[in-house]
């Protein structure tokens, strides 16, 4: 770890623990701007998919919406501080603040009464350990809790409430199984059809082939991410190229590392066109199950991952084809694309209902009702 990196971390700590709280305190002397909604994210310069449906619904209701979107990992430090400053000024008087990931500025101060902070989160279910349950997730330099001001964290099922409360370091009463907003789109037939149409316009060479979506997660942490299984995927892709079309959607940490993707469509959009999902420990498997399509879990490093980061569930119990080698992966894909499922429909549905019960196409409506109810109390 070099000196420059360490110094930057100390400067960031000073900004988050001293400068931002002062700005917030000064501007919070002003009255709350009733009906003002902020969508804030520090990982994207455009509105994240996890926020998009909520944004559309609130916009349709005539809410006054402000966007505070940055990519702190790529922006210069000066740009990032300016963005944080703009956010803190608005945050101090906003009535509603929506997040979908860690956003350090939101937890840098003591939230005033009259402001609700709603964490939509970017994952469903409860698969791999994260947050305070995973050493790799939390920087040793960061001593605060970016989630401490959340008045509501929405999750996909009742079973997930205690898991998220512990992992995010917040009270369980703030975590509610109302569903995950973005999943509402998966139940919209017009949306699904549009995704399929756009996919084949983008990838006409995929027509007549089985569509395989590979969407793995990363190992390690954001500062030093690692990818497993790419060589085996490439081998299987070559062996099956006549009848199968592979779409590789990697975690954003690898965005610049593996060449140009075959389509600019988002993973969540490609799911509508895919015949099968191949993943490892990514929560995308829960999203994909909303389509009732087969999943292949390709995890060559399964034992090491289980003893390292670990899981909230029995990995072997996930109703998917499991593979650790290229040969096993190829066999699983051929089974899945022949219309076979790894388990019975009853077992598949039971798993979905256990971890995704509130993802039924009406999550956004429930979340808005809950937020408005809290605002009246």
- Identify the structural domains of the chain with CATH numbers, from first to last: 3-180+360-376 (3.40.50.11820), 189-356 (3.40.50.12580)
What is the pLDDT at residue 227? 82
pLDDT confidence bin for 17, thresholds 50/70/90: confident
Asked whether the beta carbons of 202 and 263 are under 8 A apart, the reply is yes
pLDDT confidence bin for 161, thresholds 50/70/90: very high
Q: Which whole number is the average pLDDT over 207-233?
A: 84
pLDDT tens profile 23-49:
999 999 999 999 999 999 999 999 999
* Residue 140 pLDDT > 60: no
Residues in the chain: 377
* Residue 53 pLDDT > 90: yes
Residues 157, 158, 164, 169, Cα dihedral to 10°: 150
Mean pLDDT of the chain: 92
Segment among 134-138, 206-210, 265-269, 352-356 with least mean pLDDT: 134-138
What is the pLDDT at residue 261? 76
Question: Beta strands 224-226 and 244-248: pairing type?
Answer: unpaired
Q: Which whole number is the average pLDDT over 50-65?
A: 97
Between CA 50 and CA 177 the distance in angstroms is: 16
Question: Beta strands 219-221 and 224-226: pairing type?
Answer: antiparallel
Asked whether the beta carbons of 244 and 308 are under 8 A apart, the reply is no
What is the pLDDT at residue 185? 98
Q: Which whole number is the average pLDDT over 48-61?
A: 97
Q: Which whole number is the average pLDDT over 166-184?
A: 97
Could you tell me which of 317, 313, 305, 306 has the C-alpha nearest to residue 342?
317
What is the pLDDT at residue 222? 61
pLDDT tens profile 288-328:
999 999 999 999 998 899 988 999 999 999 999 999 999 99
pLDDT confidence bin for 219, thresholds 50/70/90: confident
* Residue 117 pLDDT > 80: yes
Between CA 247 and CA 274 the distance in angstroms is: 9
User: Which of 211-220, 229-238, 282-291 is most confident?
Assistant: 282-291
* pLDDT over 90, % of the chain: 78
Between CA 260 and CA 214 the distance in angstroms is: 15
pLDDT confidence bin for 4, thresholds 50/70/90: low
Q: Which whole number is the average pLDDT over 186-200?
A: 98
* Residue 362 pLDDT > 90: yes
* pLDDT over 70, % of the chain: 90
Cα separations (Å) of 348 from 65, 152, 268? 39, 30, 20
Long-range contacts formed by 163-168: CB under 8 A, 24+ apart? 163/126, 163/312, 164/121, 164/126, 166/132, 166/133, 167/129, 167/130, 167/131, 167/132, 167/133, 167/134, 168/119, 168/131, 168/132
């Amino acid at each position: 770890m070099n000196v420059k990196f360490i110094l930057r971390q100390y400067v960031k700590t000073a900004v988050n623990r001293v400068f931002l709280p002062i700005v917030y305190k000064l501007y919070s002397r002003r009255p709350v701007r009733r009906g003002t909604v902020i969508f804030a994210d520090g990982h994207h310069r455009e509105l994240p998919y996890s926020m998009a449906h909520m944004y559309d619904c609130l916009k349709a209701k005539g809410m006054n919406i402000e966007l505070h979107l940055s990519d702190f990992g790529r922006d210069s430090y000066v740009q990032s501080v300016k963005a944080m400053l703009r956010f803190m000024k608005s945050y101090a008087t906003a009535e509603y603040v929506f997040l979908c990931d860690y956003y350090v500025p939101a937890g840098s101060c003591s939230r005033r009464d009259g402001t609700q902070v709603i964490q939509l989160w970017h994952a469903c279910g409860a698969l791999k350990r994260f947050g305070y349950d995973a050493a790799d997730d939390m920087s040793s330099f960061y001593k605060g809790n970016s989630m401490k001001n959340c008045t509501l964290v929405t999750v996909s099922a009742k079973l997930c409430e205690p898991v998220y409360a512990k992992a995010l370091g917040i009270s369980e009463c703030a975590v509610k199984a109302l569903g995950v907003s973005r999943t509402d789109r998966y139940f919209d037939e017009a949306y699904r059809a549009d995704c399929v149409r756009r996919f084949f316009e983008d990838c006409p060479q995929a027509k007549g082939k089985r569509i395989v979506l590979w969407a793995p997660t990363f190992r390690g942490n954001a500062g030093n991410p690692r990818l497993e299984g790419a060589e085996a995927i490439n081998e299987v892709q070559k062996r099956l190229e006549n009848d199968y079309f592979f779409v590789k959607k990697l975690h954003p940490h690898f965005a610049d590392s593996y060449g140009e993707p075959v389509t600019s469509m988002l993973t969540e959009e490609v799911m509508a066109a895919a015949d099968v999902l191949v993943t490892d420990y990514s929560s995308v498997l829960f999203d994909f199950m909303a389509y009732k399509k087969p999943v292949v879990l390709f995890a060559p490093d399964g034992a090491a991952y289980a003893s390292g980061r670990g899981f909230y569930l029995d990995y072997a119990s996930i109703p998917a084809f499991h593979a650790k080698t290229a040969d096993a992966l190829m066999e699983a894909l051929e089974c899945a694309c022949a219309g076979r499922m790894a388990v019975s429909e009853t077992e598949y549905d039971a798993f979905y209902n256990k971890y995704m019960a509130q993802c039924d196409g009406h999550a956004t409506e429930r979340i808005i009702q809950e937020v408005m109810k809290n605002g009246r109390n």
